[in-house]
Structure formats: C-alpha cells, structure tokens
Structure 1
C-alpha cells in the first residue's frame, strides 16, 4: 500500500491536483459495503502500477470535497491527471473492469 494515502480538504491540492502522474481518488465512507469491496482492488492497482497514486477521501469527514467534486453516490472513483478529472466510475467493480475503464490512463 505504498502508493495509497488519505486526503483532506487541507491536503487535497497537494496530494491530488499537484501530483505528478495519474491519481485515483476513492470517495468512500466506512459504512459503505461496496466501498469496502473496491478498496483492496484499488490497493492492487497501486501496487501493480507504481506510477499511480491512490488517494482515499472519506466523504463523511470531507463533505466539502464531496460536494465540490459532485459525488452523488459512493464509491465514486475519479482518475485525475494534471489536476483534471480524466475518468469517473461510480460503484464497486472488479479489478479487470476498472483496468478497462482506466485503459491508457494509468501510464
């Protein structure tokens, strides 16, 4: 889990918007079952793609970020590159489906 961090409103700009390379942001909550299902999948992606950073944002603790990034359902997984959202996925998906969704964006 070397490439997995947690972000707050205070650290989001540094952790995500100013990061080099692709950043997968997982908007999640502790009570969310699908969030718990997708978390190990994102950990695997981070391990298999050393240039990809995974940042987790707890929507219960960081409601301002959830509103700013229009999170209406969780897990909301957004891939950022160069400070911009390049791909958005809502809901838990298996690893292969996420890799297909993010094809060409994880390099």
Structure 2
C-alpha cells in the first residue's frame, strides 16, 4: 500500500485538500506523461515513518486533471506543494529533498 493517495479529480481535490483543516497535505504535482516523482518518494516515506504522529498526509495529483492545478502545467520538473486549511503554504519546484523536508518540518514545527 502506498503512503501517497492519488487525487484523480476535482472532487478528490475538494474532499482531500480544500475541505480538510489542521492537516499538512504534501502534494506531488505531476503531468500525466511523467507520473509522480520517484526520486524523493523514499525520503517522503521516511517522514511518515519518523513522524507518523504528526498531522500530515501525502498525495499525488495530475495537474492536467485538476482545475486548481492547471497553472502548474508546463515544464518537465515535478512540483511539491504544501497545503493546509485549503491554502497553499509553499511550492518547491524540482527534486530538492532538503528544501522539501525543510518546508515540511517548518510547517509541522519539527526542529532539525
């Protein structure tokens, strides 16, 4: 079972991101032709293993299928968006594990 849930529609986006409060949602935004980023998957999974008691969920989303992400179409690099309470808190472009982890830890109040 994957630690990331795939968001496949606007309804999924609304149910899992917009309507959920108090949970940090980390979304791996990709285009259909390249799929979710595998390069940092193990790093993100480690966050779940080490900080599973924190309010955090991980998702993948095809930016071509979700209206709120259509502006993310273009380019070949993945984007990682951090959302909380229906608002985007941070976007990291490209595979930059230290920046992604730093943003997650900052939002969760985890000191490194």
TM-score, normalised via structure 2 length: 0.72
Matched positions, count: 103
Correspondence 1:1-107 to 2 at 5 A: 3-8=3-8, 9-20=10-21, 21-29=23-31, 31-32=33-34, 35-50=37-52, 51-60=55-64, 62=65, 64-67=67-70, 70-71=71-72, 72-73=74-75, 74-94=77-97, 96-107=98-109
Q: What CA distance in whole angstroms lies between the structure 1 residues aligned with 2:49 and 2:14?
A: 23
Equivalent-residue separation in structure 1 for 2:41 and 2:33 (angstroms): 13
Give 1:54 shift. Answer: 0.5
CA RMSD of aligned residues (A): 2.6
Give structure 1 stretches of 5+ with no counterpart.
none
1:40 deviates by 2.6
Change (3 A) 1:30 1:40: farther
Unmatched 5+ stretches in structure 2: none
Q: TM-score, normalised by structure 1?
A: 0.74
